[in-house]
Amino acid sequence: MKLAWGSGMAVLALVLAGCDQVDAATSKTSACAEALGLSNIDVHLDPEALAQQAQQKADRLRQLASEVSDQDLKQQLGTMADSYLALEQRKLDNLSNLNDWLQRNAANLSALREACL
C-alpha cells in the first residue's frame, strides 16, 4: 500500500511540475502575443499623441518584462520599451525623420520574434 501511495505521489508531482511548465509557456506565449501586438504605431499622429502612445507602449512592455521568467524574452521586451521611449523623446524634440527609428524598431521586433520562439 505504501508503494502504491508513493508511486501515486510521484505521478502527482510530475503532473504538477508539467502544469508549472505549461503555465510558464502560456505566460511566455501570452506575453509574446501581446508584445507583438503592441509593435504597431501610428506615425501620423500629432507629436503629443504619438509621444503619449509611445509612453503607454513602453510602460506595458516593461510590465510584461517583469512578469516573464525567460531572460532572453525579458531583455527583448526591455529593448522594445527603450525603443518606444526613444521615439517619445524624438517626437518631443521635434525630429521629423523617423526612418532611423523605424529601421531600429524593425530589428528589435525581429529579435523579439526570435525570443518568442
pLDDT in tens, 23-78: 454 488 899 999 888 888 776 777 788 888 889 999 999 999 999 999 999 999 99
CA distance 36 to 19: 25
CA distance 35 to 30: 8
CA distance 98 to 26: 34
Answering whether pTM is above 0.85, one says no
Segments in 38-98 forming alpha helices (H) = 47-67, 71-92
Q: What is the DSSP letter of 96?
A: -
CA distance 89 to 95: 9
